[in-house]
Amino acid sequence: MAVITYRQALHDTLREEMLADEDVFLIGEEIGVFEGSYKITAGLLDEFGEKRVRDTPIAEEGFIGAAVGAAMQGLRPVAELMTINFSLIALDQIVNHAAKIYGMFGGQCSVPMVMRTPGGGGQQLGATHSQNIELYYAFVPGLKVVAPSTPADAKALLRASIADNDPVLFLENLALYNTKGEVPDTAEPAEIGKAAVTRPGSDITIIGYSRMATVAHQVAEKLQEEEGISAEVVDLRSLRPLDRETLVESVRRTNCAVIAEDDWLTYGIGAEIAASISDGAFDSLDAPVRRVAAAEVPLPYAKPLERAALPSAESLTTAVHETLDAVGRRR
């Protein structure tokens, strides 16, 4: 078992999948000569050549659509969208085409492709480069949306996504690329659509995904160490399909929950989770479900403003404290 970064896990997995299957190829802006904006594809052009590591013009709709068309022929393109912000240019091809082709043609043609893309703020990139808009995709039947938070999950979910016969939006987060973790040498593909209880606990459930799942984990460890509070952490891992069972079961055990999300609150992913808890565990709830989400503003550039707008370990801890106080479980 090696300890590697999230970035390395993604890189290694792409390389291994390309070695294993001639049909797997990479397509995207600056992924070849430039080795990727975030260097996930470093060295792959040299190893696999231009046919399999394809630098594209700045034409998100054109190249994502071309990947969809190639996938319709049974190739397995892994497209890199430089950041999720630019995926909006390709929205038609993703939502109206990739997601619809299997159903619209009565199951005659599937679209086995992966769209890897980082999202998230915190890098002082301003409003158009700091969004968490995975919800737009998680809303759409026909797409699958996965969001690994650890290097091990990055590998297991990327393997599953490449093997999958449907279009998968594979959400990365700029803040996670340098995080480290143990990755089994022979990581099995994960099961898409399954959440994970990454830390068992009995006092409260914290539900998160991507960066906020890791923040939830840190907060839970600290609460245990400093206050003896036992928080359970559920990492969604897959936003569509959504594993409601796992999170509802957890809330049935702990009787209260805080949701931690990097996206905006109103209509956000946390809203769906809160509704799911209401649907499945209403009788078990001892307190209202709290949501810790980003401030609902175009994310500002100035550091103090940006910091204030994004959820953090501190804001999550506050919400957990207040919820525990409400149920009289704070020691």
Partner 1 sequence: MAETATRNKPASGGTKSRRNGTRTSGKRVQHDAQNVFSDESPETLRDYFRQMTLIRRFEERAAQGYTQAKIGGYCHLNLGEEATVVGLMSALRRNDYLFTNYREHGYAIAKGIEPGRVMAELYGRTTGTSKGWGGSMHMFDVESGLLGGYGIVGGQVPLATGAALAIDYRGGDQVVMCQMGDGTTNIGAFHESLNIAALWNLPVVFVVVNNYLGMGTTVDKSSAESELYKRAVGYRMHGERVDGNDVVAVNEAACRLVEHARETGEPAMLETVSHRLKGHSVVDPGKYRSQESVEAARAADPVVAFRAQLIDSGVLDEDGAAEIERQAQADADAAVAFADDSPHPDVSTLFDYTYATPVANDSRRLPADPVF
Residues that bind partner 1 (CB under 8 A): 25, 51, 54, 56-57, 59, 61-75, 92-93, 96-97, 101-112, 141-142, 144, 163-166, 191-194, 238, 241-245, 248, 275-276, 279-280
β-pairing, 76-80 with 114-119? parallel
Closest approach, Cβ 161 to partner 1, in A, equals 10
Of the pair 166, 235, the CB lying nearest partner 1 is at 166
Closest approach, Cβ 240 to partner 1, in A, equals 9
Of the pair 172, 249, the CB lying nearest partner 1 is at 249
Other beta carbons less than 10 A from residue 185's beta carbon: 6
Of the pair 79, 299, the CB lying nearest partner 1 is at 79
What one-character DSSP code corresponds to residue 242?
T
When computed from its CA atoms, the radius of gyration of the chain, rounded to whole angstroms, is 20
Specify whether the CB–CB gap between 220 and 201 falls below 8 A. yes
What one-character DSSP code corresponds to residue 53?
E
Closest approach, Cβ 180 to partner 1, in A, equals 28
Closest approach, Cβ 99 to partner 1, in A, equals 9
Of the pair 51, 331, the CB lying nearest partner 1 is at 51
What one-character DSSP code corresponds to residue 48?
H
- The span from the CA of 242 to the CA of 270, in Å, is 12
β-bridge partners, 53: 26
Of the pair 38, 102, the CB lying nearest partner 1 is at 102
Helix boundaries (H) for the chain: 6-20, 44-48, 60-72, 91, 101-104, 134-138, 151-163, 211-227, 244-254, 269-281, 303-309, 313-326
Closest approach, Cβ 205 to partner 1, in A, equals 16
Q: What is the DSSP string of 129-164?
A: GS---HHHHHTSTT-EEE---SHHHHHHHHHHHHH-
Closest approach, Cβ 279 to partner 1, in A, equals 4
- Residues annotated catalytic, as ranges: 60, 129
Maximum CA extent, the chain: 62
Specify whether the CB–CB gap between 169 and 134 falls below 8 A. yes
Of the pair 64, 231, the CB lying nearest partner 1 is at 64
β-pairing, 204-208 with 257-264? parallel
β-bridge partners, 171: 117
- The span from the CA of 331 to the CA of 317, in Å, is 15
